[in-house]
Amino acid sequence: MFFATDLSTVSHGIQLAVAPVFVLTAVSAMIGTVAGRLGRIIDRARVVEERIEAAPAADPMTAAFKELAGLRTRGRLANLCIALLTFCAIFIGLTIVALFLGETTELQIFRIATLFFLAGVVCFLLALLSFLTETVLATRILNFGRSRKS
């Protein structure tokens, strides 16, 4: 396998491979956001579970069990979102490697780089849909100042 030794080819390969790094920045910020939401979901679930355990055995606490079920669903969506974002980051990383190797070697892997990049974008879009679904579920339970009916 031939590796390029001239500076212009190597520097162009670096320029070509660095562009997808900006996508990685967005993905890492999104992972931080979703991880924070997941932490809040877990904390709230612990509070609800403690409330259920402290309740008398005769009290069914259906509202608490409904809330816990909703938190479980939201937690699964947040986990799915984080998994999809992680796969996105992996595919973008593989894109960077493929672009650099395609530019600095005789390997013809630009089509593979295209597939890696498209797979990363698809994972990112699916993660956004998962995030949107989780936030919609989170806001459905809010009353926004309306009194609760007993």
Tokens 């806001």: give the residue. Answer: 139
Q: Which residues of the chain register pLDDT less than 70?
A: 1-6, 13, 16, 58-59, 143-150
| Torsion sign across C-alpha atoms 100, 103, 17, 115 | negative
In a domain, 55, yes or no: yes
In a domain, 145, yes or no: no
Residue 1: what pLDDT? 59
In a domain, 148, yes or no: no
In a domain, 146, yes or no: no
In a domain, 11, yes or no: yes
In a domain, 2, yes or no: no
Tokens 């669903």: give the residue. Answer: 73
Q: Which DSSP category does 105 fall into?
A: B
Structural domain containing residue 108: 7-140
In a domain, 149, yes or no: no
- Per-residue pLDDT reduced to its tens digit, 54-70: 888 766 778 888 899 99
Strand partners of residue 53 = none
CA angle 124, 128, 132 (to 5 degrees): 170
In a domain, 150, yes or no: no
Q: Which residues contact 9 (CB under 8 A, 6 or more apart)?
A: 103, 104
Residue 127: closest CA among 22, 29, 3: 29
How many domains does one find in the chain?
A: 1
Cα gap 32→17, rounded to integer Å: 24
